Amino acid sequence: MKQPGTVLIVDDEEDILISLKMFLKQHFERVFTEQNPQHLPRQLKQVEPDVVLLDMNFRKGDTSGEEGLQWLQKTLELKPGVQVIMITAYGEVEKAVRALKTGAADFVEKPWRNEKLLATVQSTFKLSQSRQEVRQLQTRQRALTEQLDSGGGIIVGQSTAMQDVFKTIEKVAETDANVLILGENGTGKELVARAIHRASLRHERAFVNVDLGAIPESLFESELFGHKKGAFTDAREDRAGRFEAAQNGTLFLDEIGNLSLPMQAKLLASLQNREIVRVGTNQPIAVDIRLICATNMPLYDMVREKTFRQDLLYRINTVEVQLPPLRARNGDIVLLSEHFLKQYAKKYQKPDLELHPAARQKLEQYPWPGNIRELRHAIERAVILCEKNVLTPGDFLLHPDFHQSPDFFQNDDTLNLEEMEKKLIQRAMTKHQGNISKAADELGLTRAALYRRLEKHGI
């Protein structure tokens, strides 16, 4: 099977060009030749080669290799990402070494053996592909960062509670300290993690987000540490894990409270040793990452109950950021509403939309058990469905004001157990301001049982 690559051969000897093209054409989809090196700049632009085979000498009688080195430098200037293999005469090792120091990827000697030539070109092509993938990833990362910085992922807030969060972000960002972000679902923990990364010395490197709650225990090591081909049934190729993907950047472990004790032990060992071992190997790989973790679970209570390791908690929370629920952010609800309204009015091409004062009041009085995520969805739904230029209270279909009435079920016609259970849980969560332990106690449940029901009802 042919490699989907492009090879350009530059040599002044026509016989060499013909033989190389005939041989390499069997293994690569596109092979081009050029006898005159003066045409090399044009060829680089037209054929976009992945690999260039470049002769060291072009003038008859010249064996210095200087002309080849000059064209090597010119090639790398015109097309920095291209991989160049130098073609040298037998025994010209010193010239080949000079070429490698100048920037060549490898060299082949005349006369060559086809097997060795093919191996050299194929390995250089793979190197070209790998570097191209890295450049594409870096480009996407920069684009994502620019998008977030332009307003798509900024943290909006002017309340005293959020000002404290901003000060902590500013202080911790330029350090490499591990950060633990605590807060209810929907409070913006990932946004804070990204803000720390953008302000850090690692901002040009990758930000790798891992939802630990979505990784089955059987795949935990493979996902985080990588695996070797054949390590298990579905391991069809070598694969780097999330730690390696975040090398020299930031690794964000979301929902860390969901890890089982065995998974916690494996994570702790990697963090302590600052190295990982791919599944199926015994070779440790050193990793250099900035660690940020987040959870909505009460880790300190879990430590007391021995469901979360105390040594792991110490390892991940050099600095702790406590995100307040939306109901505790005085003045931020309207600010966030206007922010989301501007975003979605632009997205759905309704630029003249505005909030009626009564709608603002309704939004401010609602407790937002789903926090910012719920507010954002409410604004988007209202923008999509509205038919006028002013959003009124009727455009926001919020949950009934059960939190304001002690006779919660008296005027409710439903006898559906699922619905009544959901409303009871919502009432308990609101009453105790999102405190899982207190809500669970009042409902007569364990925290684990309450978490399952919160997940079940999407609360």
What DSSP assignment string belongs to 183-227? --TTS-HHHHHHHHHHTSTTTTS-EEEEEGGGS-GGGHHHHHHEE
Closest C-alpha among 403, 388, 398, 401 to residue 433? 403
SS3 content of the chain, % helix, strand, coil (to 5): 50, 15, 35
Q: Give SS3 for 255.
A: coil
What local confidence, expressed as pLDDT, does residue 94 receive?
80
Residue 79's contacts (CB-CB under 8 Å, 6 or more residues apart) are: 44, 49
Peptide bond into 367 cis (omega under 30): no
For residue 443, how far is the Cα from the chain centroid?
A: 38
Q: What is the pLDDT along the chain (459 residues), one digit of tens a residue?
A: 788 889 999 998 999 999 999 999 999 999 999 999 999 999 998 998 999 999 988 877 677 888 889 999 999 999 888 999 999 886 677 888 888 888 999 999 888 899 999 999 999 999 888 887 777 676 666 655 554 554 446 899 999 999 999 999 999 999 999 999 999 999 999 999 999 999 999 998 989 999 998 888 888 999 999 988 887 777 778 888 999 999 999 999 999 999 999 999 999 999 999 999 999 888 899 999 999 999 999 999 999 999 999 999 999 999 999 999 999 998 899 999 999 999 999 999 998 899 999 999 999 999 999 999 999 999 999 999 998 999 999 999 886 544 444 344 444 555 577 777 888 888 888 777 677 878 887 787 787 778 778 877 777
pTM over 0.85: no
Cβ atoms of residues 331 and 158 within 8 Å: yes
Q: Which residues pair with 295 in a beta bridge?
A: 182
Q: Using an 8 Å Cβ cutoff, are 28 and 10 in contact? A: no
Category of 127 on φ-ψ map: left (φ > 0), alpha (ψ -120 to 50) or beta: alpha
Looking at residue 414, what is its pLDDT? 57
Q: Of the candidates 384, 389, 393, 332, which has an alpha carbon nearest to the alpha carbon of residue 360?
A: 393
Strand partners, 293: 180, 253
C-alpha span between 121 and 353 (Å, rounded): 60
Nearest by Cα to 165 from 322, 318, 319, 295: 322
DSSP string, 350-376: -TT-EE-HHHHHHHHHS--TTHHHHHH
Amino acid at 235: A
Q: Count the residues in the chain.
A: 459
Q: Which helix (H) or strand (E) holds 241?
A: none
Q: What is the DSSP letter of 279?
A: B
Residue pair 32/49 in contact by the 8 Å Cβ criterion: yes
Could you tell me if 341 and 355 are in contact, meaning their C-beta atoms sit under 8 angstroms apart?
yes
Quote the pLDDT of residue 419.
77
Would you state the pLDDT for residue 70?
A: 92
CA distances from 189 to 252, 254, 313, 327 (A): 10, 8, 17, 16
Domains and CATH numbers, the chain: 3-131 (3.40.50.2300), 153-322 (3.40.50.300), 326-395 (1.10.8.60), 402-457 (1.10.10)
Determine how β-strand 83-89 pairs with β-strand 51-55: parallel
The whole-number pLDDT of residue 24 equals: 95
pLDDT at position 179: 97
Question: What sign for the dihedral angle of Cα 385, 388, 391, 395?
Answer: negative
Q: What's the token pair of residue 94?
A: 């010193």
Look up residue 289 and give its two tokens. 């990452």
Contact 372, 336 (CB under 8 A): yes
Check residue 407 and give its pLDDT. 42
Please report the pLDDT score of residue 410 as a whole number. Answer: 46
Phi-psi region of 412 (alpha: psi -120 to 50; beta: other; left: phi over 0): beta
